[in-house]
Amino acid sequence: MDVLHAWALRYCVRQDARGFIELWALVVALAAAALSIRRASSSAAVALACLVVLSVGFGLITFSWCYEAAAPSLGLVVGAPPKNINFMTCIYPHVVETIDGWIVIVLSCVAGVALVLLGIAQRRSASRRAFSFVSAVAVFLFAIINVGGLLFGISWCQSSRLF
């Protein structure tokens, strides 16, 4: 790694440290939860493990975008710029907001799964079961709306009308 990329990497980490620390804490919490409930509910543990894998992938992709776009956004381009540099430069200032959006989506999915399991576990009252299932549907709709907002933001950055 040359000096310019090392500076860009430091700049990226310093600028977006809060978001990456939050994402790391989310992954650790999800992994701990998946390990602690694996005997009680294997399907919930698998869902949490899936969210861990998706969150790690999201973090790696976001970090690579930040790393690739840091040097060009600072005016330190050496050689040919990477593919999709306009897109990465558009996403680059909004890394923390993108990570926070992802965390809201993941936590909404966790809450939805917990409400579904709570609704299944409620055996006495039909009204409580119905309330748990209706709440789960509302939480999943909230997560879907947030996914749409995140995808809209990413697609907006890919729009050729911006550049």
**In this predicted model, what pLDDT tens digit does every residue of 108-129 receive, in sequence order?**
999 998 899 888 887 788 888 9
User: With bands split at pLDDT 50, 70 and 90, how would you rate the model's confidence at 142?
Assistant: very high
Confidence (pTM)? 0.82
Of 32, 30, 84, 77, nearest to 61 by C-alpha is: 84
Mean pLDDT confidence for 63-83: 72
Residue 1 predicted with pLDDT over 70: no
Q: Which helix (H) or strand (E) holds 158?
A: helix 126-158
How much is the average pLDDT of 32-49? Answer: 85
pLDDT score of 112: 92
Q: Count of alpha carbons within 13 Å of 30, Cβ hemisphere only?
A: 25
Map out the domains of the chain as residue ranges: 3-158
Over residues 21-45, the mean pLDDT reads: 88
Report how far residue 63's alpha carbon sits from residue 11's, in angstroms, rounded to the nearest whole number: 12
